[in-house]
């Protein structure tokens, strides 16, 4: 699919494109790509019924756009299994708020996409159905937890998928699969009907093939207004050490990308965000108690039904004392104020989304400049900040002949984020056709 | 002092009363009543300087009204010891927000009143200076934690004192000392500059000699508008079991009081609030982690300097797991909605503030209809609800020849609470002169 989502929906509204054919194409692609494991529930009859409805109404900003929904987000009548044996047999009664909006805008849900169990993991490897596989190399992981949504967009099954992001769960698989993932500001997309991981940190986001598509979709789902292009932005390059501690392949492509942006007219300034360690403390001490609370009814009864890594995480989460949670809330407020201050001086900050490219399935450690670290720590490292503060953040692919690598942008508000990201995407990915 | 606060302030503004004489009277009364231990810091030079300023300006709704401030509330230049050896030597740099407002309204701060150490106890017995004694019988406790503020009003030292209430800390000592204590709605009086016990539950409140005085003071401190009398109210009598499980003396006076209100025209209806056990869970699981967080810097270093009961409480508080705190926040939201619903059907609910009268200092257990319970549990029992929900609540004395007993009113908003409470106070305490 090379047309933009906006053009597809226009084609449907104007009768030039048939939503039933679009749905059939997506269903066929999903069958062909079944070995990736990115679609955990494919519902042809539901999809075709929706498509026929749209064919009649020919309305909506997302008219006829095939959509996959991360399986922790409720779609009425479809399983609400959250990737887990623990929720086996659960069927959603109602659509999550964001799904209601998508359907009201004419999107055609074709099924549910793979999640790391209960969204509680960043590798996309733990699910009652098995791991999700990276379309660029099925021996490698997708990252997660919105594993299936990123992989399905990368595999050309759908042009748009819904995900969630608590510590990077949209941006990490976007980076590893070579697509765009955006976590808009905390209140942009509603969380009703999404199974919580961490109520303070959870964000709903989207995965798409380009920044223009992601922006168009977020605006369609939130009622936000589309605005014009901007000129070359003022970019904050972080002086914190972590964004410069990358695997060799990521380091090269990141450096080339920043140079290309400067060559195209961007201004760069050194800025410093608060120390990563403070963001990590806030993130973990909020997430643990909130995750343990979300599972307080099921975990004591069904601990053995959880995937081993998620079980271990929940056991540790239950041990975080309440006073640390309270201090973490206060810390998050302080970090938000400090980050606001930094972001007010630039159009966006830029950093690698993830310091490594997709590891092999089963890999536990990976190498960056400073040495060997756990894959999990590396995937999460540059992503927790924007969930603690609620600022919008986005990952877009950097041009590389090798495995995909993502460039992350973080900005003060959605409008500025998308404006800068569209400019960057145009420059580095030659998306002239996309305006 | 038999005049209302309103009349005193008017007298000062009109030049008929001298604020210096009022301050001298309060200082003298404080010296005479020193054995009660209710004033922990008396500052004659500060008081007389303030009084002279007011004598010149002759302005403000509280012009010349002598005031005591609970020692966990900062008054610039005075000790900020919070009743504790841990804060020995601390001097406040600035006035707490509520003190700024009081001083701007012309109130004359004469000093600081006794608190249970860090407001973390309901008996008023633990303070580096020793216990506070009940003016009606110095062998008995005042209740707490706003022990000194209630006792000072009861002893006629000041007509008005500031307190705080996290689980009953204004209402309990008001009931045991025979004065009026009000904890207005959560956002009515600002908490800046008040040492926190539990940020979710803390309220600033006032202690005064009558409902009219308490109302006038709260309105002066919050900028609220005074409104007229109401007719006989519709009162909710609780069908929950706890408000009917009282010591014999409290049971008799409570029954007589309700009968007198009905005879005067009040309508009563049976209503049921959520179960006390749920309020207790929410209160304890919010308070513990928040208290432990407030002491996270000092407690590990100075545990031995805390009073034994507070030390024990902080040790237990540090053990509450974060997930229970998270569930308690959710529970508090549910309880607030359920209580809103109940309060929307009546003008106020009525119940005994405390099921016992003031125990002897040192008493650990007391008797009610259902048997022997800990004094602490009995004092707190009927008071936690309004802190969990943030609804305004007030205790006023019921007429009795014996030891004081308080009638608690809880209402949907401050306006309704005060209107009902003034009507009740007029009927049961013959306050005709107070309008």
Which among B199, B288, B330 is the nearest to A322, CB-wise? Answer: B288
Number of H helices, E strands in chain A: 15, 15
Which among B289, B318, B323 is the nearest to A292, CB-wise? Answer: B323
Q: Please check whether residues A46 and A172 belong to one and the same domain.
A: yes
pLDDT, average across residues A322-331: 98
CA-nearest residue to B293 within chain A is A323
Q: CA-CA distance, B211 to B235, in Å (whole number)? A: 17
Q: What is the pLDDT of residue A434?
A: 42
Percent of residues, chain A, with pLDDT higher than 70: 98
* A301 within some domain: no
Mean pLDDT of chain A: 96
CA-nearest residue to B296 within chain A is A323
Domain range for A115? 5-222
* A50 within some domain: yes
**Domain-ending residue, one of A181, A200, A222:** A222
* A196 within some domain: yes
Taking CB atoms and an 8 Å limit, are B292 and A318 in contact across chains? no
Can you state the angle between helices A211-222 and A5-13, rounded to 10 degrees? 60
Gap from B347 CA to chain A (nearest CA, Å)? 34
Task: Supply the CATH number for residue B326's domain.
Answer: 3.90.1300.10
Which among A289, A318, A326 is the nearest to B290, CB-wise? Answer: A326
pLDDT, tens digit (0-9, with 9 covering 90-100), for A264-304: 999 999 999 999 999 999 999 999 999 999 999 999 999 99
Q: What is the pLDDT of residue B157?
A: 98
Q: CA-CA distance, A166 to A383, in Å (whole number)? A: 9
pLDDT, average across residues A85-89: 97
Chain B interface mutation, best of A289, A290, A321, highest count of B Cβ atoms under 10 Å: A321
Contact indicator for B47, B66 with CB cutoff of 8 Å: yes
Taking CB atoms and an 8 Å limit, are A318 and B321 in contact across chains? yes
Q: Please check whether residues A104 and A246 belong to one and the same domain.
A: no
Mean pLDDT by 10 residues, chain B (435 residues): 89 98 98 98 98 98 98 98 97 98 98 98 98 98 98 98 98 98 98 98 98 97 78 96 98 98 98 98 98 98 98 98 98 98 98 98 98 98 98 97 97 96 94 53
Can you state the angle between helices A276-294 and A322-343, rounded to 10 degrees? 130
Gap from A288 CA to chain B (nearest CA, Å)? 8
Q: Which one of the listed residues A149, A169, A198, A222 is annotated catalytic?
A: A169
Q: What angle do CA A116, A205, A112 make, to 5 degrees?
A: 50
Taking CB atoms and an 8 Å limit, are B323 and A321 in contact across chains? no
Place of tokens 């400019």: A423
Gap from A326 CA to chain B (nearest CA, Å)? 6
- Taking CB atoms and an 8 Å cutoff, what residues of chain B touch A324? 293, 322
Which among A318, A323, A330 is the nearest to B323, CB-wise? Answer: A318
CA-nearest residue to B286 within chain A is A322
The secondary structure of B105-150 as a DSSP string is TT-EEEEEE--SGGG--SSS--STT---EETTEEEEE--SSSHHHH
Taking CB atoms and an 8 Å limit, are A321 and B322 in contact across chains? yes
Which among A199, A289, A330 is the nearest to B322, CB-wise? Answer: A289
* A293 within some domain: no
Taking CB atoms and an 8 Å limit, are A293 and B323 in contact across chains? yes
Taking CB atoms and an 8 Å limit, are A289 and B319 in contact across chains? no
Taking CB atoms and an 8 Å limit, are B288 and A327 in contact across chains? no
Helix (H, G, I), strand (E, B) or coil at A42: strand
The pair of structure tokens assigned to B323 is 């997930």
Q: Is there a catalytic annotation at residue B126?
A: no
Positive/negative CA dihedral, B304, B307, B310, B312: positive
ipTM of the complex: 0.91
- Taking CB atoms and an 8 Å cutoff, what residues of chain B touch A322? 285, 288-289, 292-293, 317, 320-322, 324-325
* A86 within some domain: yes
Gap from A314 CA to chain B (nearest CA, Å)? 11
Q: What is the pLDDT of residue B424?
A: 97
Q: Please check whether residues A45 and A104 belong to one and the same domain.
A: yes
Q: Please check whether residues A261 and A211 belong to one and the same domain.
A: no
- Kindly provide the b/e burial profile for residues B102-138, where b requires at least 16 CB atoms within 10 angstroms of the residue's own CB: bbebbbbbbbbbbbbbbbbbbbbbbbbeebbbbbbeb
Helix ranges (H only) for A307-402 are: 308-317, 322-343, 375-381, 385-389
CA-nearest residue to A323 within chain B is B289
CA distances from A164 to A125, A182, A188, B225 (A): 16, 9, 12, 47
Q: Please check whether residues A18 and A151 belong to one and the same domain.
A: yes
Q: What is the pLDDT of residue B230?
A: 80
- Cβ pairs A/B, distance under 8 A: 73
Q: Which one of the listed residues B126, B149, B169, B200 is annotated catalytic?
A: B169
Q: What angle do CA A113, A102, A46 make, to 5 degrees?
A: 60
Q: Is there a catalytic annotation at residue B183?
A: no
Q: Chain B residues within 8 A (CB-CB) of chain A?
A: 199, 285, 288-290, 292-293, 296, 317-327, 330
Give the number of domains in chain B. Answer: 1
Helix (H, G, I), strand (E, B) or coil at B232: coil
Q: Please check whether residues A116 and A252 belong to one and the same domain.
A: no
Q: Please check whether residues A270 and A200 belong to one and the same domain.
A: no
Q: Please check whether residues A209 and A244 belong to one and the same domain.
A: no
Omega prior to B145 cis, within 30 of 0: yes
- Taking CB atoms and an 8 Å cutoff, what residues of chain A touch B196? none
- Taking CB atoms and an 8 Å cutoff, what residues of chain B touch A313? none
Q: Which one of the listed residues B50, B84, B145, B198 is annotated catalytic?
A: B145
Q: Please check whether residues A89 and A67 belong to one and the same domain.
A: yes
What pLDDT band is residue A227 in, cutting at 50, 70 and 90?
A: low
Which among B293, B318, B322 is the nearest to A292, CB-wise? Answer: B322
Instruction: Find the farthest-apart pair of alpha carbons in chain A and give their distance in angstroms, rounded.
Output: 60
Q: CA-CA distance, A272 to A341, in Å (whole number)? A: 10
Q: Is there a catalytic annotation at residue A70?
A: yes
Percent of residues, chain A, with pLDDT higher than 90: 96
Q: Please check whether residues A206 and A265 belong to one and the same domain.
A: no
The residues that bridge with A351 in the sheet, in sequence order, are A408
pLDDT, tens digit (0-9, with 9 covering 90-100), for A346-363: 999 999 999 999 999 999
Taking CB atoms and an 8 Å limit, are A288 and B322 in contact across chains? yes
Taking CB atoms and an 8 Å limit, are B321 and A323 in contact across chains? no
Q: Please check whether residues A400 and A273 belong to one and the same domain.
A: yes
Contact indicator for A171, A165 with CB cutoff of 8 Å: yes
Q: What is the pLDDT of residue A432?
A: 58
What pLDDT band is residue A230 in, cutting at 50, 70 and 90?
A: confident
Chain A interface mutation, best of B198, B321, B331, highest count of A Cβ atoms under 10 Å: B321
Gap from A283 CA to chain B (nearest CA, Å)? 13
Gap from A68 CA to chain B (nearest CA, Å)? 31
pLDDT, average across residues A46-71: 98
Phi, psi of A236 (to 5 degrees): -90, 120
**Domain-ending residue, one of A222, A245, A267:** A222
Q: Please check whether residues A11 and A117 belong to one and the same domain.
A: yes
Can you state the angle between helices A248-263 and A414-429, rounded to 10 degrees? 100
Is the pLDDT at A435 greater than 70? The verdict is no
* A96 within some domain: yes
pLDDT, tens digit (0-9, with 9 covering 90-100), for A3-43: 999 999 999 999 999 999 999 999 999 999 999 999 999 99
Gap from B149 CA to chain A (nearest CA, Å)? 30
pTM score: 0.94
Taking CB atoms and an 8 Å limit, are B321 and A322 in contact across chains? yes
The pair of structure tokens assigned to A240 is 């914190």
């Amino acid at each position: 699919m090379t047309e933009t989502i906006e053009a597809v929906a226009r084609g449907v509204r104007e009768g030039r494109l048939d939503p039933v054919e679009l749905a059939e194409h997506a269903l066929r692609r999903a069958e062909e790509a079944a070995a990736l494991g990115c679609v955990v529930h494919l519902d042809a009859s539901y999809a075709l019924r929706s498509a026929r409805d749209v064919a009649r109404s020919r309305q909506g900003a997302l008219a006829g756009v095939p959509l996959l929904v991360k399986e922790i987000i409720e779609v009425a009548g479809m399983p609400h299994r959250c990737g887990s044996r623990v929720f086996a047999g659960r069927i959603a009664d109602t659509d999550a708020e964001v799904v209601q909006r998508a359907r009201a805008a004419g999107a055609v849900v074709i099924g549910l996409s793979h999640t790391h169990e209960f969204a509680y993991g960043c590798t996309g490897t733990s699910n009652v159905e098995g791991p999700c596989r990276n379309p660029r190399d099925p021996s490698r992981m997708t990252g997660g937890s919105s594993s299936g949504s990123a992989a399905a967009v990368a595999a050309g099954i759908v042009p748009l998928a819904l995900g969630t992001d608590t510590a990077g769960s949209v941006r990490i698989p976007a980076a590893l699969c070579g697509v765009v993932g955006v976590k808009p500001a905390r209140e942009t997309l509603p969380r009703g009907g999404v199974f919580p991981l961490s109520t303070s940190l959870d964000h709903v986001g989207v995965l798409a093939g380009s920044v223009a598509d992601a922006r168009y979709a977020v605006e369609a789902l939130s009622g936000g207004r589309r605005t014009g292009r901007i000129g070359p932005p003022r970019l904050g390059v972080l002086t914190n050490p972590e964004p410069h501690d990358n695997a060799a392949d990521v380091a090269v492509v990141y450096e080339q990308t920043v140079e290309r942006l400067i060559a195209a007219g961007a201004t760069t300034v050194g800025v410093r965000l608060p120390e990563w360690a403070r963001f990590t403390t806030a993130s973990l001490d909020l997430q643990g108690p909130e995750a343990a609370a979300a599972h307080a009814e099921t975990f004591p009864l069904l601990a053995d039904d959880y995937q081993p890594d998620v079980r271990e995480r929940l056991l540790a989460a239950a041990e975080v004392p309440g006073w640390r949670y309270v201090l973490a809330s206060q810390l998050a407020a302080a970090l938000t104020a400090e980050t606001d201050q930094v972001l007010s001086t630039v159009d966006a900050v830029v950093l690698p989304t993830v310091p490594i490219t997709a590891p092999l399935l089963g890999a536990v450690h990976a190498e960056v400049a400073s040495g060997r670290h756990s894959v999990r720590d590396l995937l999460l490292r540059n992503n927790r900040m924007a969930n603690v503060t609620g600022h919008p953040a986005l990952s877009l692919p950097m041009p590389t002949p090798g495995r995909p690598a993502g460039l992350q942008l973080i900005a003060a508000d959605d409008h500025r984020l998308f404006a800068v990201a569209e400019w960057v995407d145009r420059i580095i990915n030659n998306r002239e056709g996309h305006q």
